[in-house]
Structure 1
Amino acid sequence: MPRRAVRGRGVLAAVLATAAVAVPGTAGGAPVAADTTDYSITIDSTAMGPEIADTMYGVFLEDINSAADGGLYPELVRNRSFEFNPADSGSYTGLTAWRETATGGATGSLRVVDDAERLNERNRNYLRLDLDGGAGAGAGYGVSNAGFHTGMALTAGDSYTFSVWARTDNPAGTPLTVSLRTAAGQALAADLAIDVRGDEWTKYSATVTPTTSATDGSLVVTAGGGGTVRLDMVSLFPEETYKNRPNGLRKDLAEKIAALNPGFLRFPGGCLVNTGSHEAYEAPNWPRKRSYQWKDTVGPIEERATNHNFWGYNQTYGLGYFEYFQFAEDIGAMPLPVVPALVTGCGENRATDDPILLQRHIQDTLDLIEFANGPVDSTWGRLRAEMGHPEPFGLTHVQVGNEENLPDAFFERFVRFRAAIEAEYPDITVVSNSGPAPDGATFDRLWALNRQAGVELVDEHYYVSPQWMLENNARYDSYDREGPEVFLGEYASRGNTHYNALAEAAYMTGLERNADVVRLASYAPVLAHEDSVQWSPDLIWFDNSTSWSTPNYEVQRLFGNNVGDAVVPSRATGTPALTEPITGAVGLSTWATSAAYDDVRVVSADGTELFADDFSQGAARWTHAVPAGTWTVQDGAYLQTDTAATNTLVTAGDPAWRDYDLHLKATKRSGAEGFLIAFGVRDTGNYYWWNLGGWNNTQSAVEKATAGTKETLIADGTTIETGREYDVHIQVRGTEVKLFLDGQEWGSFVDENTAEPFRQVVTRDDRTGELIVKVVNAQDTAARTRIDLGDGVRVNHTARVTTLAGDPTATHDATNQPIRPVESRFRGVDNQFSYTFEPNSVTFLRIRAR
């Protein structure tokens, strides 16, 4: 069974092949004398390590940060079918994003209606315009829509398709005037004239080409004459999409994703998949907050149901399962859809026990496979063909569930999905998961269940600090080679600086070295609109008119285009480790809990009392490290009373303290969890804390925070009773910590993790006959390195070099992207040669070798 990462530099790190990402040196990669090298890399060029799967690096798309509507899905009209609802967001109505407008003195009234005149049962709302008809020719009454965020981005010379479903009760017909205008009212194109005839829903469309560009554009639709005209699915869609697909994708974003050369495409989530109601759509009183269900997202777009988005807005499903499959095919990626397991995650933590509902979702998953792969004379294969793709999509993998925090409830349902899928489609790989974190009780339990059941592929997720990635390169060295294999479906180092990218690159060398265990990996999330951010960092940022990469993107693109076919065994010397003792002040905190603390004492290892507070004189010696919680002194104890506040940290003492014992008494008064007792506190982002009764009082753990990102060091199932006083003792000696609860040793750990800044891996490209030496130098000094290719290989003396280097604090924005790869040639290659890798760099040396 896979175990948690080996702390510090793993015992296999020196003997297993490692990835070498190299950047040309400050002297253009010129050779240096052997006696001046800082590192050495020894490569067994004639040997072969693990094969690397074609799917090694991929992308994960989720509609978060307005990634779909207003992003990759390029519809310019927001709320095009008037289905926005307070369930999506508290301020939403059916008229969100729409404004009443009139020309030439026309008057009328408008309202969003759901009645028998609706377009269809799934697209129920429509806009009703009642026209007074008293104005002269050319007058019009109607609405305008400025699209998403800051206005529609319209480009002169590009063509856009306007379309609308409409009907009128005026026997003479109703003239519609369609205009494109700036916020100041400037016309951007010649008006379109559309004549609506008849009182049956009919789709009207026309092409408009702006003669002036604008980023604050809006669409104006007005109706003339009298009577009532009904409008729905009001759309303005660019004619040029990625691969010119109908209902296609925004070209610049799709091209950036394609440039990553992804081996797979995971979709559509994420938390989007397994949150909300699992009920099916049932008009008219369907659950607005439904989990993402694929059948809602296929067929004609005007018949697709809209839905609340877990991330706080509305999703139209214009980008649906067919479009995801089509995109995967267009970029040469393996499609990997995720379906709900009827156990919610992402903080909801509910399991659905209705057996009929469970069976319906299992059947929906079987129908999904038929939609992707079935013949055209099958029910769902026929729908795929009607949508324009008679050939199968070639689906091979389906993931059931995402980040469930109820491991046993999830797995009970997972095995039923898997049994049904394998019975009907034995060639489909059913992917499981290990929860939302890289370790802890949920992680360990799910890995045990997955291993026991012989699951083939397990999805791991973690968002961690750069420090964690530099320390845990050997994570997968100790995983069981007999399986299950790992799908690292979501990971990032919580930042978009070049240093974050360097840490991720260093970690990816460990992924490649363990390519026999890690079969797929994808950074997440991929897309973020700068005016709609629910999660950061992200790989690609954009606004309505442009998009830009991040340093993290550049790393992912370079690795995705320089994978190789197999690992070549190699080893490297490391950076001398400087193990520092744990130092820092102490702290008290709570999480959604009221708790009282008393008799706090800190005593040095030699018995000297460093601090004592029984709160008889108040709490003046404590500093509120974060602006949260309500702390007061009551009955001689320090009490936090706000049961809604999360992380209410207060601190005391000296950040230079080391080798001490912390004693205190703690009592839970009320709330969801227990106590948070901090030690080694350097500042608000760097500390340790003993989390007693965490995760809704289901377990306890020691967590280490580095730059605000926490990792679990040790954990067990200890829970905390309300009203009971606990005696807490934490002993810190150098890098070793022992923890005692009510006089009994609860656990201990040694934190000797070192952040190794120099990492490497070597792979072989069978097509080109090249060794790809990949080296990461994540430090401010150059790395002078002796590289030994062995004597049994003939090499070309010129290597192709790609370098990504720069200021580690650098970030990208719409106008400035300083971290860019530089290509060059290095003409000093031999069986043994020296190369200087630039500070803060990732380097790829491609060396032809036989």
Structure 2
Amino acid sequence: MSLQGTLTINTKDRGAAMGDLFGIFFEDLNHAADGGLYAELVQNRSFEFDPIDHPDYHALTAWEKVERGGGECEVRVQSELPLNNRNNNYAVIDIRAAGDGVGLMNQGFNTGIPVREGDTYFFSMYARRNSSFDVPVIITLEGLEGSIYSEANIVVASDQWTKYEARLTASATDYSGRLVLTTKGSGFLYLEMVSLFPARTFRNRLNGLREDIATLLAELRPKFMRFPGGCLIHDGSLNADDRDSMYRWKNTLGDVAERPARRNNWRYNQTLGLGYYEYFLFCEDIGAKPIPVVPGGSDPHHKRNVPLNELQPWIDEALDLIEFANGDASTPWGAIRAKLGHPEPFGLAYIGVGNEEVGEGFFERYAYFHRAIKAKHPAIKIINNSGPFASGEEYERGWRSARENGSDFVDEHYYQSPEWLLANHRRYDSYKADDPKVFLGEYASLGNTYYNALAEAAYMTGLERNAHVVGLACYAPLLCNVDYVNWKPDMIWFNNHEVFGTANYYVQKLFMHHQGDYALQVQAEGFEQPVQSESKPIAGMLAVGTEGGTVEYSQIKLINHVTGEIKELTDEKILVTDTEEDRANGHARRIAELEAIDCEHYTLSMTARRKAWGRGFMIHFGKVDDRNELLWRIGGWHNNDSIISSQINGTSCVLTHCLFDVEDDVGYHLLLEVCGRKIRAYINGVLVADTEDLIPVIEPLYYSSSIEEATGDIILKVVNVQDAQIRTGIVLEGQGEKETVMIEISKLSGYSLEDENSFEQPERIVPANQTLHLQGSAFEYEIPRHSLTVMRVKRSLNDTDVKVTE
């Protein structure tokens, strides 16, 4: 194959510092902590589950009463004499007849308690008894059919809360095991904080992390870790002592038995066993800089704001966190850290204030946080935010706030289709170097296929090329327990005994391992022009609808600006309804089609009125089928938004967003203008959206280069999303013509775009490695179709013959 183009790298002219560009983001959703990274095997260990966490929860969720061989008991939960004032509930076993044993069994997470033959587990519990109870409590690891894999006896010797511990070593492997506590005594036995940990945790830390998941994270070699969220940091009550409060980091320190149970806003219980001290330790263990995020006194989910005259304690909490991380042992919070076992500071360099907030309430309060932090800790980099979407009114408000306050970073979030990433891969080319830098704190292409990963790799080369404006970036979400899914896609999937990285994981790993320290300029010459898909005007069916409510549409009119035709689409009011009652009785009508249109320029106008609460108005346009359309949704999630989105092959991405609340039984005049692929939308004559649905322009290759300072290695990343290999010349400008070099190559290629990793095939998609030895500053290489290729050019001491080693 003849040469199709050349990439020339200027190896001597260093550009922007790459800094801490690529890292990870941990949020406790999808049971990422409890039942996931946090190694505790007992679910609901302190009997604190509550309907406030999830409507199906109760204090004995995940527990079963055990009555064997004629045994009889009553099990209940009480709170009259608690272990402490933060952990109120405890289980009471009222023994009526001992039989062959009575007590409690814990089901664990997923299929049960996973045990492996020969492995040791640390058991602990707090217990007390009444005076008539005088026999041991038998602790067993059992199979579903009753096989006993390990057993220990504990004598509860006091009527006061006392901690008891035991070691259990499994005699078999079973991933559906149960932890069983039984006794043959009489009287009352009281149990609290029943815990089981594998002895082997990551770095063998007590109260530690699940080794296989933590190892997969460590192997990424991330530059930073953002934690603990995400939406969970700001969704909740303003009172730190409330069960459903916003995430307050001070509640997560100290003895796990004294950490209060918390409602996780992803609708489950959060023990806080994985707390801020553990987060900092993990960051240190894997060499990642910590980026904690604190609430900014505003809950956009429920439109709560801390009064400005009550904001100082929230600001103090952020300042105390910095002292906890960086203060020496003579400071109040540095002393607390030292007492926990870490006298040395953690070296905090960044802090985020808020997450995806929208509305003036947050940004007014952010200014107070920013001023206080910079006054006391001027070296700390402060991260502002720009809402949950890539553009629109609130996005612009976030950037205005960042410029006005002098924020160091702006946290951008967006989850988009692969096509959007390809269409917008030059997004940051036009950002200004003197603005705050971008922290791309959450992004993904909404899928775990090889195609998704490839589109993300192409987009990431744009992040590297623009390291002068993009300072930090992390894929999200990070972890998902396959049996507790809140959000898809996710980088790493696991159950109670297995874990695998997706194709997206291996793309992230290649970029993290080969980030480099300074960007290098790459010049592309001789390639064919970018391939632009036919940019057809937005055409298709027009329709109106709703979700979860009832809406009345009237006075629907279509103007064809090409022909001048004005058409009334209906003489009558159109009622669409999607209430639970209508769905139950078969009367639901969620969408009403109006007319198909294939026109360069048209306007659709109507009056809409919400008759029963739901997610407001839904105007469908360019509708080809149920998986391919554009949608204008007004009064959507939490009745808070006006959003225009594009759906391609079932994957939706938001083009623009602004705030808008819909009131019941109020008529709104809606006008949607479409010209080519440009879209404008008006509500009551006010422009609320001005956007464009871009069609991807497929580049011959996507590429970026950098240099690693410690080794002098030159790194080149090349992504080919086309269905043909491209023979490419690589020129190392500034490299000696007679110099011998070794080139280490890691690549992802040879996979179908639909391929995915799975529990059955966890390494179906993994990088392959290759080594070239050659002399000179130029060579040719065939970039495979549908591939990511990473080349690391190293000086070689081998002979000068060119050879390939697979």
Whole-Å separation in 2 of the counterparts to 1:125 and 1:819: 47
**CA deviation map 1:231-265 (0-9, x unaligned):** 11111110000001111100000000001101111
Residue 392 of structure 2 corresponds to residue 450 of structure 1: no
Please report how far the alpha carbon of residue 195 of structure 1 lies from its aligned counterpart in structure 2 after TM superposition.
0.9
Whole-Å separation in 2 of the counterparts to 1:447 and 1:848: 41
Residue 449 of structure 2 corresponds to residue 503 of structure 1: no
Identify the residue that residue 841 of structure 1 maps to in structure 2: 787
Identify the residue that residue 759 of structure 1 maps to in structure 2: 702
Identify the residue that residue 819 of structure 1 maps to in structure 2: 765
Q: Return the match for 2:92 from 128, 142, 165.
A: 128
Unaligned runs of 5+ in 2: 797-806
Structure 1 residues 446 and 829, CA, compared in 2 at 3 Å: closer, same or farther?
Answer: farther
Please report how far the alpha carbon of residue 743 of structure 1 lies from its aligned counterpart in structure 2 after TM superposition.
9.3
What's the % identity of the aligned pairs?
Answer: 39
**CA deviation map 1:759-811 (0-9, x unaligned):** 10011122332221101111222122233333664454542111112111111
CA contact (8 A) 1:502 1:778 kept: yes
Structure 1 residues 230 and 744, CA, compared in 2 at 3 Å: closer, same or farther?
Answer: closer
Identify the residue that residue 382 of structure 1 maps to in structure 2: 335
Q: Return the match for 1:578 from 511, 528, 533.
A: 533
Whole-Å separation in 2 of the counterparts to 1:647 and 1:410: 38
Give the TM-score normalised by structure 1: 0.86
**CA deviation map 1:571-595 (0-9, x unaligned):** 3355232332123222223455623
Identify the residue that residue 21 of structure 1 maps to in structure 2: none
**CA deviation map 1:613-637 (0-9, x unaligned):** 425xxxxxxxxxxxxxxxxxxxx12
Identify the residue that residue 24 of structure 2 maps to in structure 1: 59
Specify the code of the residue in structure 1 equivalent to 2:574.
Y
Specify the code of the residue in structure 1 equivalent to 2:575.
L
Specify the code of the residue in structure 2 equivalent to 1:588.
V
Whole-Å separation in 2 of the counterparts to 1:415 and 1:746: 27
More strand by share: 2
Please report how far the alpha carbon of residue 517 of structure 1 lies from its aligned counterpart in structure 2 after TM superposition.
1.3
Residue 8 of structure 2 corresponds to residue 72 of structure 1: no
Q: Return the match for 1:547 from 496, 499, 505.
A: 499
Structure 1 residues 596 and 46, CA, compared in 2 at 3 Å: closer, same or farther?
Answer: same
> Where do residues 685-724 of structure 1 align in structure 2 (5 Å cutoff)?
685-691=627-633, 702-713=644-655, 723-724=666-667
Identify the residue that residue 677 of structure 1 maps to in structure 2: 619
Identify the residue that residue 272 of structure 1 maps to in structure 2: 232
Whole-Å separation in 2 of the counterparts to 1:40 and 1:459: 36
Identify the residue that residue 640 of structure 1 maps to in structure 2: 576
CA contact (8 A) 2:134 2:186 kept: no
Please report how far the alpha carbon of residue 740 of structure 1 lies from its aligned counterpart in structure 2 after TM superposition.
7.7
Residue 59 of structure 2 corresponds to residue 94 of structure 1: yes
Whole-Å separation in 1 of the counterparts to 2:686 and 2:275: 56
Identify the residue that residue 296 of structure 1 maps to in structure 2: 251
Whole-Å separation in 2 of the counterparts to 1:497 and 1:363: 44
Residue 107 of structure 2 corresponds to residue 146 of structure 1: yes
Structure 1 residues 332 and 725, CA, compared in 2 at 3 Å: closer, same or farther?
Answer: closer
**CA deviation map 1:446-481 (0-9, x unaligned):** 101110111111111111111111111111111111
Whole-Å separation in 1 of the counterparts to 2:392 and 2:338: 46
Query: How many residues are paired up?
Result: 779
Please report how far the alpha carbon of residue 673 of structure 1 lies from its aligned counterpart in structure 2 after TM superposition.
7.4
Please report how far the alpha carbon of residue 43 of structure 1 lies from its aligned counterpart in structure 2 after TM superposition.
2.2
Identify the residue that residue 614 of structure 1 maps to in structure 2: 570
Q: Return the match for 2:207 from 212, 233, 247.
A: 247
Structure 1 residues 249 and 664, CA, compared in 2 at 3 Å: closer, same or farther?
Answer: same
Whole-Å separation in 2 of the counterparts to 1:184 and 1:328: 41
SS at match of 1:569: strand
Q: Return the match for 1:317 from 272, 283, 286.
A: 272
Structure 1 residues 729 and 161, CA, compared in 2 at 3 Å: closer, same or farther?
Answer: closer
Q: Return the match for 1:425 from 377, 389, 392.
A: 377
CA contact (8 A) 2:394 2:658 kept: no
SS at match of 2:16: coil
Please report how far the alpha carbon of residue 278 of structure 1 lies from its aligned counterpart in structure 2 after TM superposition.
2.1
CA contact (8 A) 1:579 1:754 kept: no
Q: Return the match for 1:596 from 553, 559, 573.
A: 553
Please report how far the alpha carbon of residue 648 of structure 1 lies from its aligned counterpart in structure 2 after TM superposition.
4.1
Alignment RMSD (CA, Å): 2.9
Whole-Å separation in 1 of the counterparts to 2:363 and 2:708: 39
Identify the residue that residue 192 of structure 1 maps to in structure 2: 152
CA contact (8 A) 1:173 1:198 kept: no
Specify the code of the residue in structure 1 equivalent to 2:96.
D
Identify the residue that residue 481 of structure 1 maps to in structure 2: 433
Unaligned runs of 5+ in 1: 1-31, 282-286, 616-635
> Where do residues 453-532 of structure 1 align in structure 2 (5 Å cutoff)?
453-532=405-484
Whole-Å separation in 1 of the counterparts to 2:452 and 2:512: 18
Structure 1 residues 477 and 375, CA, compared in 2 at 3 Å: closer, same or farther?
Answer: same
Whole-Å separation in 1 of the counterparts to 2:123 and 2:641: 56
CA contact (8 A) 1:786 1:834 kept: yes
Structure 1 residues 264 and 728, CA, compared in 2 at 3 Å: closer, same or farther?
Answer: closer
Whole-Å separation in 2 of the counterparts to 1:399 and 1:233: 33
CA contact (8 A) 2:550 2:579 kept: yes
Structure 1 residues 111 and 478, CA, compared in 2 at 3 Å: closer, same or farther?
Answer: same
Structure 1 residues 424 and 132, CA, compared in 2 at 3 Å: closer, same or farther?
Answer: same
**CA deviation map 1:279-337 (0-9, x unaligned):** 122xxxxx221111111111111111111110011011111111101000000111111
CA contact (8 A) 1:160 1:237 kept: yes
CA contact (8 A) 2:681 2:689 kept: yes
Q: Return the match for 1:788 from 702, 706, 731.
A: 731
Identify the residue that residue 630 of structure 1 maps to in structure 2: none
**CA deviation map 1:711-766 (0-9, x unaligned):** 4556778888865474746354x445676888999886665542425310011122
Structure 1 residues 600 and 131, CA, compared in 2 at 3 Å: closer, same or farther?
Answer: same
CA contact (8 A) 1:597 1:664 kept: no
Please report how far the alpha carbon of residue 834 of structure 1 lies from its aligned counterpart in structure 2 after TM superposition.
2.6
Whole-Å separation in 2 of the counterparts to 1:91 and 1:696: 22
**CA deviation map 1:813-832 (0-9, x unaligned):** 11113111000123567534
**Higher relative contact order, structure no. (Cα contacts within 8 Å, ≥ 6 residues apart):** 1
CA contact (8 A) 1:594 1:642 kept: no
CA contact (8 A) 1:33 1:834 kept: no
Q: Return the match for 1:111 from 76, 95, 101.
A: 76
SS at match of 1:45: strand
CA contact (8 A) 2:669 2:685 kept: no
> Where do residues 324-339 of structure 1 align in structure 2 (5 Å cutoff)?
324-339=279-294
CA contact (8 A) 1:296 1:305 kept: yes
Whole-Å separation in 2 of the counterparts to 1:430 and 1:415: 11
> Where do residues 143-182 of structure 1 align in structure 2 (5 Å cutoff)?
143-170=104-131, 173-182=134-143
Q: Return the match for 2:717 from 771, 774, 788.
A: 774
CA contact (8 A) 2:370 2:405 kept: no
**CA deviation map 1:188-244 (0-9, x unaligned):** 12x211111011111111111011110110011012322222111111110000001
Whole-Å separation in 2 of the counterparts to 1:472 and 1:213: 49
SS at match of 2:329: coil
Specify the code of the residue in structure 2 equivalent to 1:47.
D
Deviates more, 1:209-218 or 1:97-106: 97-106
Whole-Å separation in 1 of the counterparts to 2:255 and 2:656: 52
Structure 1 residues 766 and 194, CA, compared in 2 at 3 Å: closer, same or farther?
Answer: same
Please report how far the alpha carbon of residue 543 of structure 1 lies from its aligned counterpart in structure 2 after TM superposition.
0.4
CA contact (8 A) 2:133 2:187 kept: no
Identify the residue that residue 221 of structure 2 maps to in structure 1: 261
Please report how far the alpha carbon of residue 344 of structure 1 lies from its aligned counterpart in structure 2 after TM superposition.
1.1
CA contact (8 A) 1:349 1:404 kept: no
Structure 1 residues 724 and 134, CA, compared in 2 at 3 Å: closer, same or farther?
Answer: closer
Residue 201 of structure 2 corresponds to residue 238 of structure 1: no
Specify the code of the residue in structure 2 equivalent to 1:807.
S
Structure 1 residues 264 and 668, CA, compared in 2 at 3 Å: closer, same or farther?
Answer: same
Please report how far the alpha carbon of residue 187 of structure 1 lies from its aligned counterpart in structure 2 after TM superposition.
1.2
